[in-house]
Structure 1
């Protein structure tokens, strides 16, 4: 499944990522000494002894003896129901004719002259350029400036990882995607965020921050290095001994235009807004009709946000009408019965005002026009990703919507190719 995804701005990633340095001799010895099994060395010695015994058997003529034994087994096994296995072995050994292996058949010259020749190897149909596959692999490893890059966090059969996808756009159809490289994680990833902080020096970086279910810390991985085994930076890591009673916070969202303003949604059917510039203020609170699934600020205003709920509805709010002393008095601007199951993903389009994408456990992705008091659905698709867990529009190519779900497959929808979207928002 894909639990979270993040677009990487075009031109940020290195065209050819670096390969992580292998562990030092001391690190290797430490890993060997720390091996709980401790029997790997003896097992390797046993395998070497078996190989040496086989070579000695060939030299001492025991192949002929094995053939005789196989014949005897074949004859005696006819009395048993499982005789077919031994018969097959006997027939195969007879066909090899090991006694006359070194003798050539008459009329057969293994080293006869070549009847045909070609001026160059490129013209010879029997010769294949061994470098073709290597060159294609090298070409796939190069990240072009026009390529889109998406980092998907997920898990499959208890294997937790980040997958870095390359997105190749095409005219008239959804883009082609393929995995460039992956990063192994120790715990199930819950959320991701791209960072351009120059952690390792320079003007900017290319990092991904990962929050995991089983870790009390945030891991930051360098996306310009492949085959890395440890994060570049680990933030936090303090484990609380006592768990606080009460409801948990399910979703948080920072305001795009007022970065000090934070929304939080909880299982207690409420949404709270706090302004970090005024820590003494109790904040504003809204009541909703079900457990909160996701929150999203409208990137084109500093006063509107939407909240998605477990019952399949979406509610929009205007903070200008909020009253801190009465959470129930601030009614939603609109309410949508959007999906048949929980709305587990939300994404505003960063360049097209009033275009909102929603994804649900009902496996559907829908696009909404929020330009009036009665929002309407302009497009919907089942993209075969299972239950939808994550959505994100590209900053560089605003029509591209990345979708991840329970099946673990990444899909990229070119929303501009949909007639309803094109009719309402244009190209």
Structure 2
């Protein structure tokens, strides 16, 4: 598997803990991890039992001389002796006393023959940890060489300032998958890796959320921009977490404020019940087709890879997921205690099984209508439906190509974008979509954005009429959309600038949550690049008036506007200027 970054996600300034905590495997964490690990170890235990039974049954079906040989072999196995070598002394046999001087190099006094004769002790994945000596003060522990002064230096190195952004990337390199967490200091244009977290399988999607898994749901609800609160209920809790979807059917949720983490804070889905790792071939006998059957769908959890995630920023305890099992599921992050016996938040609260007929590639909540979901599928359709009444949803056929990504327009409650495998970008109005997919719905405009697949898209959250797209043609393009439809004409869409940022095929593009013209891009070369589009004269000219109207300041940047991490064997990786 080649090295690549499959997706990237921003973390707004001030959301991260200033001093991230070090992972501590104490008794409470040991109990939590053991409870979660038992789920995975159960499959291994069953397989070992099956292998043991199969081994015991070997030879029972033999006939004639072959069966006799097997039986004799079992009886005589204990008496096997290598005739060429001398028999070994039995354990416990006293060695004869000798007055002769021991030859040089004689190690008999160390009793190495009994080296492996240990007392019986508890076994298990963490059995050796509990026997370690604990020191309340690290200065008293002779094995800790990192003392107070060094700890202060390390604490300073791990510090995340309130003016820093975090960027989380899902990276796979040399068949090893991990989350790499970067710190980006906009004032000094500095980008560096802060820490990383290991993943069990190839990551496909990321979603940042500030709701601590397993905590109580927020007490405040929003209706028509008015906040209704109950003084007797504590205020909602916040945090800094990342949800990860992989080729496995489970969803892992990690805290970004803990370094050197060994296990996620919560796992959505039950690996001991999905049986997703066991392939089901079509046909019987010798002629087997390579294609596999669809796994049996269940309402409690996914049974195939998780392709997309979307966190509900209004109802903060809700997470939506789209999967290759053709379903969309809703998860309540407040259910269960992480690592507890109450399913560990392992079951979905809703499952939408009849929305699409093929893999569901994309899903997103509508920020203006927080109960409405937008989905896109390999069945070449997009659907818009209320999660409370999915059967009353509407949809659109998007033509002869699979859906790559979908995005609601934050400046238009009913508008959304769809990118396709053939490089097209479509814009729809949800109010004009039909309830039937028999005939394609007309798009408000169609844009041929890329020569290859238009693999990613993001809508600028700071001012109206600005989107960025990325494609497998290795280009990142910024587009300006004017609102001329108010005068009865179609929208005017024009490309402002494009650039090859040196990330290879572009798999992820995302606008910064804090800087109006700063975006992040990543792709098939396993590189992350930050691009401040304001460094381009055409961008300043096209968006200057819009930024001023939105009350945002336009600042020019040095270094061509591109910030990245330069490899030792490379020079400038800033990429070349395009149109």
Q: What TM-score does the superposition give when structure 1 sets the normalisation length?
A: 0.70
Q: How many residues align?
A: 329
Helix, strand or coil for the counterpart of 2:492? coil
Unmatched tracts of structure 1, length 5 or more: 35-55, 58-130
Which of these residues, 459, 464, 471, is aligned with residue 360 of structure 1?
Answer: 471
CA contact (8 A) 1:13 1:223 kept: yes
CA contact (8 A) 1:284 1:327 kept: no
Matched, 1:208 2:242: yes
Shift of 1:136: 6.9
Q: What CA distance in whole angstroms lies between the structure 2 residues aligned with 1:8 and 1:276?
A: 27
Helix, strand or coil for the counterpart of 1:424? helix
Shift of 1:321: 2.0
Matched, 1:393 2:511: yes
Matched, 1:261 2:315: no
Matched, 1:158 2:175: yes
CA contact (8 A) 2:164 2:185 kept: yes
Match in the other structure for 1:318: 429
CA contact (8 A) 1:189 1:210 kept: yes
Helix, strand or coil for the counterpart of 2:439? helix
Match in the other structure for 1:18: 21
Q: What CA distance in whole angstroms lies between the structure 2 residues aligned with 1:421 and 1:133?
A: 46
Helix, strand or coil for the counterpart of 2:390? coil
Shift of 1:5: 1.5
Q: What CA distance in whole angstroms lies between the structure 2 residues aligned with 1:26 and 1:399?
A: 42
Higher RCO, 1 vs 2 (CA within 8 Å, ≥6 residues apart): 1
Task: Check 1:177–1:136 CA distance in 2 against 1; reply closer, same or farther (3 A cut).
Answer: farther
Matched, 1:283 2:401: no
Shift of 1:220: 0.7
> What pairs with 1:148-187 in structure 2 (closer than 5 Å)?
148-170=165-187, 175-187=189-201
Shift of 1:27: 6.7
Task: Check 1:327–1:423 CA distance in 2 against 1; reply closer, same or farther (3 A cut).
Answer: farther
Backbone CA RMSD of aligned residues:
3.1
CA contact (8 A) 1:273 1:284 kept: yes
CA contact (8 A) 1:271 1:288 kept: no
Unmatched tracts of structure 2, length 5 or more: 42-103, 106-147, 216-235, 277-294, 298-324, 327-356, 485-490, 545-553, 555-579
Q: What CA distance in whole angstroms lies between the structure 2 residues aligned with 1:230 and 1:258?
A: 35
Helix, strand or coil for the counterpart of 1:268? coil
Deviation string 1:339-373 (CA, Å, 9 cap, x unpaired) is 11100010000012110000000110000012142
Q: What CA distance in whole angstroms lies between the structure 1 residues aligned with 2:440 and 2:459?
A: 26
> What pairs with 1:4-83 in structure 2 (closer than 5 Å)?
4-22=7-25
> What pairs with 1:331-346 in structure 2 (closer than 5 Å)?
331-346=442-457
Match in the other structure for 1:307: 418
Helix, strand or coil for the counterpart of 2:244? strand
Q: What CA distance in whole angstroms lies between the structure 1 residues aligned with 2:470 and 2:479?
A: 11
> What pairs with 1:82-121 in structure 2 (closer than 5 Å)?
none
Q: What CA distance in whole angstroms lies between the structure 2 residues aligned with 1:133 and 1:376?
A: 54
Matched, 1:193 2:207: yes
Matched, 1:220 2:241: no
Match in the other structure for 1:146: 163
Q: What CA distance in whole angstroms lies between the structure 1 residues aligned with 2:493 and 2:533?
A: 18
Q: What CA distance in whole angstroms lies between the structure 2 residues aligned with 1:383 and 1:316?
A: 26
Q: What CA distance in whole angstroms lies between the structure 2 residues aligned with 1:283 and 1:254?
A: 15
Task: Check 1:419–1:236 CA distance in 2 against 1; reply closer, same or farther (3 A cut).
Answer: same
